[in-house]
Amino acid sequence: MKRVALVIAAVAALVAGCGGSDTDAADASTEAAATTTGAYEPGPFFGECGSITDAEVQSAFGAGPFSQVTRNSVGCQWETVGFSGPSVSFSWYRGSPIGRERAGSELIGRPAKDIAIDGNPGFEAEQGPLCEIGVQFGDDFFHWSITYSDQPAARPPCDVGNELAALTVERKQ
């Protein structure tokens, strides 16, 4: 279910990007040109998995042992019972607008509200057992997603997300 929602959000973002006026296209071209001409300022380094250990994720999430942990150059995912079960994920986006992620959440029915962690702007979007936290650093942002799926939540998902996001911000380099 979670993955279906993510696919829907991605398709919605692509469709939204395809529509619009010539002015929108010109604005997008100008923005793209600014990015490719060196206007991009890299944000801080967040480390593998947002500099959060498996034990810290487990402690914050509190939903049983992880059956799978996936790590790659842009993120991590911790799953308790496989593909459709409770999970936590961290993603790090460099040179990507946080507004697109926020809009995707809103398009699939998770209204986003403004937050700030240690002075860094972001958003929180919650619906049922799922919460997303995005925090911006200049042209970069990171994203935590927490879902208990159909399992009873051990803790409110946005409490978990905010705790993990605060640790990531605290440990940035």
Q: Is the pTM value of this prediction over 0.85?
A: no
Helix (H) or strand (E) segment spanning residue 71? strand 68-72
- Where does the pLDDT of residue 73 fall: very low under 50, low under 70, confident under 90, or very high at 90 and above? confident
**What is the rounded average pLDDT of the residues 21-25?**
42
**Sheet of strand 87-93: strand arrangement:** 68-72, 75-79, 87-93, 140-147, 130-137, 120-127, 112-117
Token pair listed for 106: 């809103």
How high does pLDDT run on average in the chain?
82
The pLDDT assigned to 92 comes to: 95
Indicate the range of 28-32, 53-57, 80-84, 89-93 predicted with least confidence.
Answer: 28-32
